[in-house]
Amino acid sequence: MNVLFLSPGFPNEMCFFSEGLANVGAKVYGVGEAPVGTLPARTREALTAYLQVPSLWDEEGTVEQVRHEIAAAGLRIDRVETLWEPLVVLAAKLREALGVPGMSVARVLPFRDKELMKRKVDEAGVRTPHHVGCRSQDEIREAAERVEYPLIVKPIAGAGSADTYRVDDAAQLEEIIAAVAHVEEVSVEEFIEGEEFTFDAICIEGHPVFVNLSLYRPRPLVQRTVQWVSPQTVALRDVHAPELASGYAMGLAVLKALDMGSGFTHMEWFRKPDGEAVFCEIGARVAGARSIDIMNFATDMDLFTGWAEAVCHGSFSQPVTRRHNAAIIFKRAEGEGRIQSIHGLSSVLSRFGSHVVSVDLLPIGAHRRNWKSTLLSDGHVILRHPDLATCLAMADAVGTDLRMGAA
């Protein structure tokens, strides 16, 4: 089994997926922009060979170069995989160019274009926010009249809540129109009040063999606009809880509507105060920002290898165990510049003991990360507990009692 794996060393978790592929017996051929010497050691050990390309954003050039190198080496590629959102279409183009089975360009596009996505989901009778795709300022104004306030303006191919705004009235709309002037196409959407969850799945030919539901606290748009919060994502132990049933059923319906193939998928959905589930978005890749870590900690499974087995062999042999709720809490230092102090860590560790399973904070002296461009912020703590209320209380305590200072 020869697998072409795009960007095997970035983002950080890709080195473990590279290992997963090697664990299930695949020969892993990495393709990326980074020089081989700068790849994480674990990636390098998992790879059979690596091709460095000038730019992964140049899709046609990359396809040509890969096709040429594969032919020159006399190789037959069996799978083309990526788990990083910007490369999902490139992976599909490579499958088509190399005659490899898996999702084609036509099948992955609805996972990238949020208007196309919602139209397909609408056709399947799944509830989406009322939405209009807009390519000009006048179209945004007209759409706002149809959708009504409050509304959301967001790029049709966004990520990480970038260029995403809540708009409450016509005056504010004019400000936002100016702010999104550089975005080619946006969706104007009905603003959905409620809580936000994920539906993550490893699928074999569209059939989910592993499902995870996570809760975001607070909502991602708030995480990105309010610096002083410590954002949490919580992988939930009881994915079959009655209050989550509407979202779980929606996840299954959306996988069908979008003709999901094999691999990881990450969907987001809203639960309104009356319990109704509303679709938000879906990607044909794993969730980012260490979400895979909390899924592994919640289940004591190795989902890196589980994913690899599913895509390479069409099987999933690990028993699905659900032992914990697992929360990741991202910390943001107070002040700008370099980290000067970390307070409250020993108290958190002594109070929560073995429930804390990972601590990864920037060290004293390190420069703060840009909290708007990466949810990873200045570090994180992961903890877990079988009881959800206890897990959430511990996560909130890490939010308030663990403090980092910068200057």
Strands 356-361 and 379-385: antiparallel
Nearest CB to ligand ADP, comparing residues 1 and 116: 116
Is residue 377 a contact residue for ligand ADP (CB under 6 A)?
no
Nearest CB to ligand ADP, comparing residues 39 and 280: 280
Q: Which does 27 bind (CB under 5 to 8 A by kind): ligand ADP, Mg ion, none?
A: none
CB 398 → ligand ADP: shortest distance, Å?
A: 22
d(CA 387, CA 389): 6
Q: Which does 333 bind (CB under 5 to 8 A by kind): ligand ADP, Mg ion, none?
A: none
Cα distances from 154 to residues 38, 162, 165, 168, in angstroms, run: 35, 8, 7, 14
Angle formed at CA 246 by CA 273 and CA 123, multiple of 5 degrees: 105
- Enumerate residues 151-180 that contact ligand ADP by CB under 6 A: 152, 154, 158-162, 164
Q: Which does 191 bind (CB under 5 to 8 A by kind): ligand ADP, Mg ion, none?
A: ligand ADP
d(CA 4, CA 211): 25
- Enumerate residues 125-144 that contact ligand ADP by CB under 6 A: 129
- Environment class of 346 (CB within 10 Å of its CB; exposed 0-12, middle 13-18, buried 19+): exposed
Is residue 191 a contact residue for ligand ADP (CB under 6 A)?
yes
Residues that bind Mg ion (CB under 5 A): 268
Is residue 322 a contact residue for ligand ADP (CB under 6 A)?
no
Is residue 42 a contact residue for ligand ADP (CB under 6 A)?
no
Q: Which does 129 bind (CB under 5 to 8 A by kind): ligand ADP, Mg ion, none?
A: ligand ADP
Tell me which of 280, 292, 311, 345 binds ligand ADP, using CB under 6 A. 280
CB 375 → Mg ion: shortest distance, Å?
A: 11
Both tokens of residue 261?
Answer: 């193939």
Cα torsion through 70, 83, 88, 38, rounded to 10? -60
d(CA 2, CA 77): 5
CB 237 → ligand ADP: shortest distance, Å?
A: 23
Nearest CB to ligand ADP, comparing residues 104 and 161: 161
Please enumerate in sequence order all residues whose Cβ is within 8 A of that of 227, keeping only pairs 6 or more positions apart, or say none. 332, 371
Angle formed at CA 139 by CA 134 and CA 145, multiple of 5 degrees: 110
CB 219 → ligand ADP: shortest distance, Å?
A: 4
d(CA 363, CA 180): 36
Q: Which does 189 bind (CB under 5 to 8 A by kind): Mg ion, ligand ADP, none?
A: ligand ADP
Sites of contact with ligand ADP (CB under 6 A): 129, 152, 154, 158-162, 164, 189-192, 196, 219-221, 268, 280-281
